[in-house]
Structure 1
Amino acid sequence: MDGKKLEFKGEEALRELERLTTNARELQEAILRDIISRNKETEYLRKYMMGAEDISEFKSMVPIVTYEHVQPYIERISNGEDSSIISGHPIVEMLRSSGTTRGKPRLMPSIAEDLVRRTYMYNLLMPIMSKYMPGLDKGKVMHLLFIKAETILPSGMPARSVLTSYYKSDHFRCREPDPFNNLTSPNEVILCPDSRQSMYCQLLSGLIHRHSVLRLGAVFASALLRSITFLEQNWRELANDIRLGQLNPSITDQACRSAMSHMLVSPNLTIADEIESICNNACWRGILVYLWPKVKCIEAVLTGTMAQYIPMLEFYSGGGIPLVCTMYASSESYFGVNLNPLCHPNDVSYTLLPNMAYLEFIELDNGLRCGDEEEVQKEKVVGLADVKVGKYYEIVVTTFAGLYRYRVGDVLQVTGFYNNAPQFKFICRRNVILSIDLDKTNEEDLHKSITVAKEILEKQNYLLTEYTSYADSSSVPGHYVLFWEIKLMSEKLESGKAQSLVHPELIESCCIAIEESLDYVYRRCRTNDRSVGPLEIRLLECGTFEALMDLLISQGSSINQYKTPRCVEPGPALDLLNSKVMGSFFSPKDPAWNAGL
């Protein structure tokens, strides 16, 4: 299973897909044998297998683990020890995951061959898309792609996001011309480290080529919506650049200026007038198809927590063109593709490919809540080809780079099979209750941050009696909302009057304290990426949470087992909470963010 054998394109890629999915069980066993053979002499595997190569011994002796178990090995390599402690091939970089441990992002080991595997997955997407939408090679692609800040570890290797790794690699920068992926934006603009300047130039590039764009999108739906908001704020400047044939002086990155000079070769009054006429409309419903009239689809991750953005993208697209989710991937491994790209995002199932990594699945109780903190009891682990339709599973991955039986944390449901490869619907991340962009806040972290704020309240003689939360994506960027019911600890004043007497500065200080207590990824999204807006606290009338309990019990919850939900979704519960709001307060400043983490 040499990664160099994965360089397939076009019809050849589709034929390879058929072969892989037909022989899923055999290929998975071959992948695992290959991983064990390459890595049997590592410190990690020798600890459990003593140099053995038997698959059954691997499954019986090597434990299923979480990040806390592998973190010490990764830290040793990050600090300069040889990567042979977990991998038989040199680890060339650490991929920074969106998950966190103890407030810091998780680091996932990566070897050079991993880039070949990711490239194979990307090369498979357009042959699949072209089966459903012919003619995608007759125009341009406006994909808004961004890199994120990276750090150099004490070992000298970089720590960066998996997408930044790919965009900076020769697989992307030196790719051969491809009529199916003819990007509107030059590489220099995509690789600009200043996200504002990059976004400005990418939107400008897309507008210059507005009559040639057939596909529009971003990796995550949240990033695409941020770009639309940026366009709302800057369309006049963008149109003026096109009208004058000159780049706005606010763009100071020299690589961007040089690349854009080849596009802005002369004034174009026609396109500038068209943009101004379209963007001057008071309502931006359908703005994407007005600005890019030939666009056939919008591509972005719209499953999992990103599903909250489907209504907004349907609004901006006018609801007349498909929203396409193409693939399922993570920092640990790339997993699978959507073989039915024109289905609605709510119905997406991903076909998991057996050549990316060795995959196992922990069967879960169908009633398991996505935010459940409890460990799965009597874990039943099955292979890729042995999952059952309708069942829920947590995915476990073993990679060539040194992750062994690692719990990714994603909960999936089997929806069917393509040949002999299972198809999964992404359900959620285990334990995550709040997420806007790459941030993932679980119930424990939320509780810890609110505990800090409770101490601030109590010093001022206030008591937080109950709370819940909501990820508000009705505006861009979205933000966390906390619903609080508080009362004065003094018996001289009725608790229902507490909200009307509270000083705004007190609740704002609580907002600040909570944001400062949330993890690294949240603070980075707030302060550096600007992909999450200021946290909001909404104070509620006294008795609101009793009314919430009555509502949920009337809908079928057990009065004996009732617990206040720590996160609510759009629906009657949210409507009730919002009807009882007495005051709303936002965090007045950005939380601290240490780029060196």
Structure 2
Amino acid sequence: MRSPSSPHVISASPPMKLLPKCDPNDDEGTMKLIEELTTNAAQVQRQVLDEILARNSNTEYLHGFLDGLTGYHFFKKKVPVIEYEHVREYIERIANGAPSSIICTQPITELLTSSGTSGGQPKMMPSTSEELDRKTFLYDLQVPVINKYVDGLDKGKGMYLMFVKPEIRTPSGLSARPVLTSYYKSSNFLNRHFNKHLIYTSPNETILCADSRQSMYSQLLCGLLQCDDVLRVGAVFSSAFLRAIKFLEDHWQELCSNIRAGEISEWITDSGSRRAVMQIMREPNAQLAERIEAECRKEPWEGIIRRLWPRTKYVDVIVTGSMAQYIPLLDFYSGGLPLVSTMYASSECYFGINLQPLSSPAEVSYTLIPNMAYFEFLPVKSDKRGEEEAFDADKCNRLEMAAEAVDLVDVEVGKFYELVVTTFTGLYRYRVGDILMVTGFHNSAPNFRFVHRRNIVLSVDTDKTNEEDLLLAITAAKPLLAPLGCLLSEYTSYADTSSIPGHYILFWELKSNNAATELDSAVMEACCLMVEESLDWVYRRCRSRDRSVGALEIRVVRAGAFDALMDLCLTNGSSVNQYKTPRCISSPEAIAVLDGRVVGRFFSRSAPQWEPLRVGKK
């Protein structure tokens, strides 16, 4: 355990450049830069805060708290720790034409839509052109780290599946779009050719194709055509990578036909994708088509990644947080290749990198890089028997926050914290909502394991459903049970990712005065759809547009099923006086208790309504 460092002491070392030049092709120089940043973490953090306050203390937002004052102590004493609702008004004003200077002296160049939601709509995070450079800096910083553990990555290509999502133009003329869409469309990404470690099988045109189905097909075709050059495969999220495997499973015959004929399918109508793919395909290749067909015909598809891309050294996907549920499927399809999570980032800002990239998924920790933002941490403690209980997946909401925010270098190993950030782009003491555990230190910079999102109980892809939203959605559906003469007496849920795409499953126990009541399929399917219609914008987009989440399922259980669940929880150590039905379950034992008592299964027959995000004056 470390002794807290004093926030009053400033290192006598000369100030470091807060956004230094980073050459990803210079392994030695970049590793030295990582050592300098992490060794001087306290000094760099103070420089970051001083710079942010020097720039922005007279903005409308900060001036309201600081009245022109600057400095660490005034900031800590006078600026409150906030959530999105406290800054939402300022961001929406900028979206509607107010000057960026109300929160940030640098021009806000775009708004990044977060997968977390507020009032059913995505949150919008301000961003600047400098912040795009800061993101690129972190991408470049991670390159020599993986090179340290995996040899020869500059001798081949990466088959990374990357996609853009819809964006809008706000009344002020700013774009509002997801953070990865922003990055893939930026010159920082499109002009990355100097980086010999970031050569992809997917041409830019296929990545930027707005039709996700055409983009997926074109990128997979390019990946198969260059299969002998591929040294690593991946996508940002595990769920997206597994959707690509499922897509390949459904389309391998057509892909092989294209390769054999040397022509791309006519339904690929995006001109940029067609042109880019044909520059790679060039001529028929019957031998390659036969080789791919021979592997795809074999059942099961265990190890299909190794078999189709035989030189692959690892799979680059996020396997922390809600993505951990996909590890068994990733192991199955990859044939046991290492699963590497390289970076920790969000729409608010990019945070850190994994300095031990070949660690097992359960041991992944990220080192927060101190020049990315000013980091603080709210200590988290359990209201029950201890910290371990607080972070049980079925009890993840039983937390209380301590009032005092801790600085980056003052966190303690083994303790849990909620991340708070102050960014260069206009977020001040903002609660990100991520719960982290300190696993150690790299020099003076702590390593964190991502535990979970605060209050989130269900997630399959980029959707994040909390307990309150789930309750409201189920409450909206309950009146539909009236024709059956039934009441909903108990419910719980889990995210089933055993199939692709995964989907939400709700267990419902119904109470009826008539023992002979029969479940009506039309009524129960209407309940499924009503729950989906009542969930937030991101969930409905994943269901309706992205198709990355499958149809919601309600499993009706017989009377007494939830008593059996309680008995199981009590057997495992829960207190009878404090037991509450968990609104989300994850243990196979708990799921089996309810599954063994199911009397009816029902699905949504259609996708919920979804409309593109709109931002406008109220």
TM-score range, shorter chain: over 0.9
Quote the offset at 1:372 in angstroms: 5.1
Give the structure 2 partner of residue 549 of structure 1. 566
1:364 is aligned to 2:386? no
Give the structure 2 partner of residue 217 of structure 1. 234
CA distances 1:53-89 after superposition (whole Å, capped 9, x unpaired): 1211011000000001000111110111001000010
Amino acid in the other structure paired with 1:418: H
Quote the offset at 1:376 in angstroms: 3.0
Distance, in Å, in 2 between the alignment partners of 1:377 and 1:284 is: 46
Contact kept? 1:65, 1:407, Cα under 8 Å: yes
Q: 1:7 aligns with which of 22, 26, 30?
A: 22
CA distances 1:294-337 after superposition (whole Å, capped 9, x unpaired): 00000000000000000000000111x20101010000010111
CA distances 1:483-509 after superposition (whole Å, capped 9, x unpaired): 011132x3xx22xx54xx111010000
Give the structure 2 partner of residue 253 of structure 1. 270
Contact kept? 2:193, 2:199, Cα under 8 Å: no
1:60 is aligned to 2:82? no
Give the structure 1 partner of residue 256 of structure 2. 239
Contact kept? 1:328, 1:336, Cα under 8 Å: yes
Give the structure 2 partner of residue 421 of structure 1. 445
DSSP-derived class of the 2:390 partner: coil
Contact kept? 2:354, 2:366, Cα under 8 Å: yes
1:197 is aligned to 2:214? yes
Contact kept? 1:359, 1:397, Cα under 8 Å: yes
Distance, in Å, in 1 between the alignment partners of 2:141 and 2:310 is: 27
Give the structure 1 partner of residue 462 of structure 2. 438
DSSP-derived class of the 1:422 partner: strand
Q: 1:48 aligns with which of 57, 65, 69?
A: 65
DSSP-derived class of the 1:175 partner: coil
Quote the offset at 1:551 in angstroms: 1.1
Contact kept? 1:3, 1:117, Cα under 8 Å: no
Distance, in Å, in 1 between the alignment partners of 2:102 and 2:488 is: 49
Contact kept? 1:7, 1:119, Cα under 8 Å: no
Distance, in Å, in 2 between the alignment partners of 1:154 and 1:249 is: 38
Assess, with a 3 A threshold, how the Cα gap between structure 1 residues 274 and 177 changes in structure 2: closer, same or farther.
Answer: farther
DSSP-derived class of the 1:5 partner: coil
Contact kept? 2:504, 2:551, Cα under 8 Å: yes
Quote the offset at 1:377 in angstroms: 4.6
Give the structure 1 partner of residue 433 of structure 2. 409
Aligned pairs (5 A) from 1:391-406: 391-406=415-430
DSSP-derived class of the 1:17 partner: helix
CA distances 1:148-204 after superposition (whole Å, capped 9, x unpaired): 110111111000011011100000111224321110010000010110000000000
DSSP-derived class of the 1:444 partner: helix
1:339 is aligned to 2:363? no
Distance, in Å, in 2 between the alignment partners of 1:536 and 1:2 is: 53
Distance, in Å, in 2 between the alignment partners of 1:480 and 1:181 is: 36
DSSP-derived class of the 1:236 partner: helix
1:308 is aligned to 2:325? yes
CA distances 1:260-316 after superposition (whole Å, capped 9, x unpaired): 110121000111000110001121000010000000000000000000000000000
Contact kept? 1:6, 1:116, Cα under 8 Å: no
Give the structure 2 partner of residue 91 of structure 1. 108
Distance, in Å, in 2 between the alignment partners of 1:262 and 1:2 is: 43
Quote the offset at 1:472 in angstroms: 0.2
Contact kept? 1:3, 1:113, Cα under 8 Å: no
Give the structure 2 partner of residue 355 of structure 1. 371
CA RMSD of aligned residues (A): 1.2
DSSP-derived class of the 1:411 partner: strand
Distance, in Å, in 1 between the alignment partners of 2:167 and 2:195 is: 29
Give the structure 1 partner of residue 195 of structure 2. 178
Give the structure 1 partner of residue 300 of structure 2. 283
Distance, in Å, in 2 between the alignment partners of 1:3 and 1:418 is: 19
DSSP-derived class of the 1:91 partner: coil
Amino acid in the other structure paired with 1:340: Q
Moved over 4 A (4+): 1-4, 369-375
Assess, with a 3 A threshold, how the Cα gap between structure 1 residues 460 and 583 changes in structure 2: closer, same or farther.
Answer: closer
Quote the offset at 1:375 in angstroms: 7.0
Distance, in Å, in 2 between the alignment partners of 1:368 and 1:62 is: 29
Extract unaligned runs of 5+ from structure 1: none
Assess, with a 3 A threshold, how the Cα gap between structure 1 residues 323 and 294 changes in structure 2: closer, same or farther.
Answer: same
Distance, in Å, in 1 between the alignment partners of 2:18 and 2:94 is: 23
Give the structure 2 partner of residue 472 of structure 1. 496
* Percent of paired sites with the same residue: 52
DSSP-derived class of the 1:522 partner: helix
Extract unaligned runs of 5+ from structure 2: 1-15, 382-386
Amino acid in the other structure paired with 2:23: F
1:31 is aligned to 2:48? yes
DSSP-derived class of the 1:376 partner: strand
1:131 is aligned to 2:172? no
Give the structure 2 partner of residue 456 of structure 1. 480
Aligned pairs (5 A) from 1:485-564: 485-488=509-512, 490=513, 493-494=514-515, 497-498=516-517, 501-564=518-581
TM-score (norm 2): 0.94
Distance, in Å, in 2 between the alignment partners of 1:350 and 1:248 is: 42
Distance, in Å, in 2 between the alignment partners of 1:127 and 1:7 is: 11
Give the structure 1 partner of residue 582 of structure 2. 565
DSSP-derived class of the 2:42 partner: helix
Distance, in Å, in 2 between the alignment partners of 1:368 and 1:550 is: 20
Amino acid in the other structure paired with 1:382: V
CA distances 1:423-457 after superposition (whole Å, capped 9, x unpaired): 00000000000000000000000000000111111
Distance, in Å, in 2 between the alignment partners of 1:87 and 1:174 is: 28
Contact kept? 1:362, 1:396, Cα under 8 Å: yes
Distance, in Å, in 1 between the alignment partners of 2:461 and 2:227 is: 27
CA distances 1:75-106 after superposition (whole Å, capped 9, x unpaired): 11011100100001000000000000110000
TM-score (norm 1): 0.97
1:483 is aligned to 2:507? yes
CA distances 1:199-222 after superposition (whole Å, capped 9, x unpaired): 000000000011110000000000
Give the structure 2 partner of residue 383 of structure 1. 407
Quote the offset at 1:46 in angstroms: 0.4
Contact kept? 1:3, 1:114, Cα under 8 Å: no
Distance, in Å, in 2 between the alignment partners of 1:51 and 1:2 is: 25
Contact kept? 1:6, 1:117, Cα under 8 Å: no
Aligned pairs (5 A) from 1:100-111: 100-111=117-128
Contact kept? 2:379, 2:401, Cα under 8 Å: no
Give the structure 2 partner of residue 295 of structure 1. 312
Amino acid in the other structure paired with 1:380: E
Question: May I ask how many residue pairs the two structures share in their alignment?
Answer: 589
